[in-house]
Amino acid sequence: MGNAANKEANGSGTENKPTVVFVLGGPGSGKGTQCANIVKQYGYTHLSAGDLLRAEISSGSENGNMIQNMIKEGKIVPSEVTVKLLQKAMQESGNDKFLIDGFPRNEENRAAFENVTKIEPKFVLFFDCHEEEMERRLLNRNQGREDDNIETIRKRFKVFLESSLPVVEYYEAKGKVRKIEAVKPVEEVFEAVKAIFDPEREKVAA
């Protein structure tokens, strides 16, 4: 079936699809911090895949134990679980603009999200930060996260390099990556973020 016909048949034309920006970067690169700033200024809904998974653990769901063990080991939870949580959160939000933070983390995540939602990200915000700085930030966070210990942090870094960076490279090849130098104070990083979002907003308004 041709693309136009396909759109007609399943009603999934781009006109009613939500806008999605993927927010990627290593553990502790500042994804959550900057998403909070973006939400205040640009009217997006922030969906952190990690936060959704942690909420799933707290809720005592049947997947809770499995998710908890995977997070403790820095491993990537099966796409089926994460995509369902993201989809549900998108549906319940009432918004049509989303920052999806910390997802997709591997090729399987990316393909599953695309297959299920038929959504392609508008662009990918990528926070570039070296490990020494990320490690310092995570060890100083003190929010009781079970994965903020040096053993798990090392595993998270390894998974990021092996599985998540290839996703960034995939989008880089499509010209969709907006890279931000993240080794700067929060306010300075946000200035760089605004320089990405302001022109995008003008494009929509035009």
Residues contributing to the site for Mg ion (CB under 5 A): 31-32
**Residue 75 partner contact from ligand UP5, Mg ion, none using kind-dependent CB cut-offs of 5 to 8 Å:** ligand UP5
The whole-angstrom separation of Cα 148 and Cα 72 is 9
What does 71 bind: Mg ion, ligand UP5, none (CB cut-off 5 to 8 Å by kind)? ligand UP5
- Residue 11 interacts with ligand UP5 (CB under 6 A)? no
The least distance separating Mg ion from the CB of residue 29, rounded to whole angstroms, comes to 9
Task: Output the CA–CA distances (angstroms, integers) from residue 40 to 16, 48, 90, 122, 124, in the order listed.
Answer: 24, 16, 18, 19, 19
Q: How far apart are CA 156 and CA 202, in angstroms?
A: 37
The distance of closest approach from Cβ of residue 149 to ligand UP5 in the complex, given in angstroms and rounded to an integer, is 12
Query: Under 8 Å CB-to-CB from 127, ≥6 apart: which residues?
Result: 23, 24, 25, 26, 29, 30, 31, 34, 180, 182, 189
> Residue 51 or residue 120: which is nearer to ligand UP5 going by CB?
51
Give the integer Cα–Cα distance in Å for 141 and 71: 17
Site for ligand UP5 in 165-184 (CB under 6 A): 184
Binding mask 106-135 for ligand UP5 (x = CB under 6 A): ---x--------------------------
By CB under 6 A, tell whether 103 contacts ligand UP5: yes
Selected from 20, 21, 28, 98, the binder of ligand UP5 by CB under 6 A is 28
CB of 63 or CB of 109, closer to ligand UP5: 109
Preceding amide of 104 cis, omega within 30: yes
What are 9's two structure tokens? Answer: 């048949």
